Amino acid sequence: MFDSLSSRLGATLDKLKKRGALSESDVNTAMREIRVALLEADVALPVVKEFVARVKEQAIGQDVVKSVTPGQMVVKIVHDALIDTLGTEETGLNLAATPPVPILMVGLQGSGKTTTSAKIARKLKNDQKKKVLLASLDVYRPAAQHQLQVLADQAEVDCLPIVKGQKPVAIAGRALEEARKGGYDVVILDTAGRLHIDQELMDEVAEVSALTEPAETLLVSDAMIGQDAVNTAREFNEKVGVTGIVLTRVDGDARGGAALSMRAVTGRPIKLLGTSEKLDGLEGFHADRIANRILGMGDVVSLVEKAAQTVDQDAAERMAKKMMAGKFDLEDMLVQLQQIQKMGDFKGLLGMMPGLAKMKKQIAEANIDDRMIKHQEAIILSMTRQERRHPELIKASRKRRIAAGCGRPVQEVNKVLKQHQQMATVMKHMKKAGGRKALMSALT
Ligand code: GDP
């Protein structure tokens, strides 16, 4: 759901990455684009303003840590600020009250309230072995009560029997009574949806809330609603006091702004995400995961930390010097392979690299993995030093010997040689394009 925002931020920060130092004008440029990206992602204007101001302030004041590019630094700051806005506190449902614990579901019509009520009931029953009672207070939409009954059957949880003509507040009272008598742990009250904020219905929810004193009042909201998210969230929060937000349809191509806006406006945590029409499509909310997804560049922060710990600056410097002389032999390739291994899980690492997250699918298809790197290393180690320095010496009979030496097929030896050639060509181009600095930044 956060795709357009992530590609947008990605493009901005990739640009910045090519710069040498993090100046005030760099930050301003980046922030202008981040602002546009957030607005395009339907984040509400006041939220965007606040977010951008905070990030800018942090970015300008901060030193660029050694061995981190300015772009990576900004990624970290934006990333942290996103997490901050999305919230880091524990977001599980609060069921600590004396049973039956009432949960009140509120939101606009079609937001996914009824479906989410059944999803939550199912989850509490399966994961926490809770005895749950579902009750629909929607007496306005034809068949709403029946719909909840059908979903409850699917989820294999109980649903309050329908009594024709009963008013919502009376239904809520009956639900609590039934839940008490039946020894239920939780009672989920699905209120009537509204097309827009409407005083009469709002008063009704407030009345139900006053009667039942819910432990949780969950605002269910469609991830697609964009700018309107702010008004809806504010209204519900002011009138009935929301305790948490459930964002539905995050499986669709929503632009993601709702998550940021609603959180920022209400100050309430996003507790759950709806990820499909099916009853098992409900997930917990993790700010860091969403922030990573928004940025589309994985956890650059830990990449940077890992890189700083493991990459040998001197070795990189030596290699850069050699390559400046137009040389990149198999020994250099070996050093690179070893560096990669030192940095840990290769696929995970690729996922963390800015820009490369976009290529994850291709990487998975190309079948690059840790084992393959180990094999490549074994092949190069099976060569003589002379062969490594002069790959052109490696003809058919040497290839067979190398293959036998490391227990890999000759085709793989050929592949390594071909790959080396490609890398050497890239290094040459890089040398032409950017000189020593580009080489160093490619190596570290
Ligand atoms: P209500 O009017 O707020 O009670 O909304 P409903 O629960 O009736 O949901 C409206 C429509 O959205 C239904 O067709 C649901 O199947 C669908 N829906 C609800 N949640 C999700 C979700 O997380 N993902 C998808 N794709 N569809 C959902």
Q: What is the pLDDT of residues 168-205, one digit of tens each?
A: 999 999 999 999 999 999 999 999 887 776 888 889 99
For 1, 2, 350, 375, the CA distances from 274, given in Å and listed in that order, are 12, 14, 28, 43
Instruction: Say yes or no: 279 and 206 in one domain.
Output: yes
Instruction: Say yes or no: 117 and 10 in one domain.
Output: no
In a domain, 94, yes or no: no
pLDDT at 199: 85
Identify the three-state secondary structure at position 184: coil
Cα 201 to averaged position of ligand 1 atoms, centre (Å): 20
Cα 274 to averaged position of ligand 1 atoms, centre (Å): 9
pLDDT at 363: 52
197's tokens: 């904020």
pLDDT (tens, 9 = 90+) of the chain, 444 residues, equals: 344 444 555 566 666 655 555 677 777 877 877 787 677 767 888 888 988 888 888 777 666 555 556 666 676 787 788 888 888 776 789 998 899 999 999 999 889 999 999 999 999 999 999 999 999 999 988 789 999 999 999 999 999 999 989 999 999 999 999 999 999 999 999 998 877 768 888 899 999 999 999 999 999 998 877 777 788 888 899 989 999 999 998 877 655 677 888 888 888 999 998 989 999 999 888 787 666 655 644 444 444 445 555 555 566 666 666 666 667 788 888 887 777 676 655 555 554 444 444 445 555 555 566 788 889 999 999 999 999 999 999 999 999 999 999 999 999 999 999 988 887 877 777 666 554 555 445 444
In a domain, 438, yes or no: yes
**Is 439 labelled a binding residue?**
no
Q: What is the DSSP letter of 170?
A: H
In a domain, 96, yes or no: no
**Is 107 labelled a binding residue?**
yes
Instruction: Say yes or no: 234 and 374 in one domain.
Output: no
Provide the residue range defining the domain that includes 245. 101-284
Instruction: Say yes or no: 71 and 109 in one domain.
Output: no
Around ligand 1, the residues with Cβ closer than 6 Å are 107, 109-115, 193, 248-249, 251-252, 274-277, 281
Is residue 189 within 8 Å of 208, Cβ to Cβ?
Answer: yes
End-of-domain residue from the set 64, 88, 112: 88
Query: How far is 196 from 206, CA to CA, in rounded Å?
Result: 16
Counting from 1 in the atom list of ligand 1, the atom nearest the Cα of 111 is: 3
Instruction: Say yes or no: 105 and 206 in one domain.
Output: yes
Is residue 282 within 8 Å of 57, Cβ to Cβ?
Answer: no
Query: DSSP letters of 188-256?
Result: EEEPPPBSS--HHHHHHHHHHHHHH--SEEEEEEEGGGTTHHHHHHHHHHHHH---EEEEE-TTS---S
Is residue 390 within 8 Å of 331, Cβ to Cβ?
Answer: no
Cα 137 to averaged position of ligand 1 atoms, centre (Å): 17
**Is 192 labelled a binding residue?**
yes
The best mutation among 270, 277, 278 to test binding of ligand 1, ranked by most ligand atoms within 8 Å of the C-beta, falls on 277
Helix or strand (DSSP H, E) at 272: strand 270-274
Counting from 1 in the atom list of ligand 1, the atom nearest the Cα of 147 is: 8
**Is 369 labelled a binding residue?**
no
In a domain, 280, yes or no: yes
Query: How far is 6 from 227, CA to CA, in rounded Å?
Result: 18
pLDDT at 10: 56
Cα 125 to averaged position of ligand 1 atoms, centre (Å): 21
Is residue 270 within 8 Å of 86, Cβ to Cβ?
Answer: yes
Query: How far is 206 from 239, CA to CA, in rounded Å?
Result: 7
Indicate if ipTM > 0.95. yes
User: Could you tell me the CATH number of the domain that includes residue 236?
Assistant: 3.40.50.300
End-of-domain residue from the set 88, 112, 137: 88
Query: DSSP letters of 114-168?
Result: HHHHHHHHHHHHHHH---EEEEE---SSTTHHHHHHHHHHHHT-EEPPP-TT--H
Query: How far is 277 from 68, CA to CA, in rounded Å?
Result: 43
In a domain, 95, yes or no: no
pLDDT at 295: 60
**Is 63 labelled a binding residue?**
no
Instruction: Say yes or no: 84 and 134 in one domain.
Output: no
User: Could you tell me the CATH number of the domain that includes residue 26?
Assistant: 1.20.120.140
Pairing mode of beta strands 244-248, 216-222: parallel
pLDDT at 272: 93
Instruction: Say yes or no: 316 and 435 in one domain.
Output: yes
Cα 186 to averaged position of ligand 1 atoms, centre (Å): 22
pLDDT at 352: 46
Cα 140 to averaged position of ligand 1 atoms, centre (Å): 18
Instruction: Say yes or no: 159 and 187 in one domain.
Output: yes
Instruction: Say yes or no: 116 and 145 in one domain.
Output: yes
Is residue 270 within 8 Å of 263, Cβ to Cβ?
Answer: yes
In a domain, 290, yes or no: no
Instruction: Say yes or no: 269 and 367 in one domain.
Output: no
pLDDT at 207: 95
52's tokens: 């951008």
For residue 188, give the nearest of 174, 199, 175 by alpha carbon: 175
pLDDT at 67: 52
Total domain count, the chain: 3
Prior bond of 168 cis (ω within 30°): no
Instruction: Say yes or no: 250 and 278 in one domain.
Output: yes
Tell me the longest C-alpha to C-alpha distance in the chain.
91
pLDDT at 65: 57
Counting from 1 in the atom list of ligand 1, the atom nearest the Cα of 138 is: 4
Instruction: Say yes or no: 268 and 203 in one domain.
Output: yes
Is residue 88 within 8 Å of 286, Cβ to Cβ?
Answer: no
User: Could you tell me the CATH number of the domain that includes residue 361?
Assistant: 1.10.260.30
For residue 75, give the nearest of 30, 33, 13, 128 by alpha carbon: 13
In a domain, 25, yes or no: yes
CB atoms within 10 A of CB 384: 14
In a domain, 256, yes or no: yes
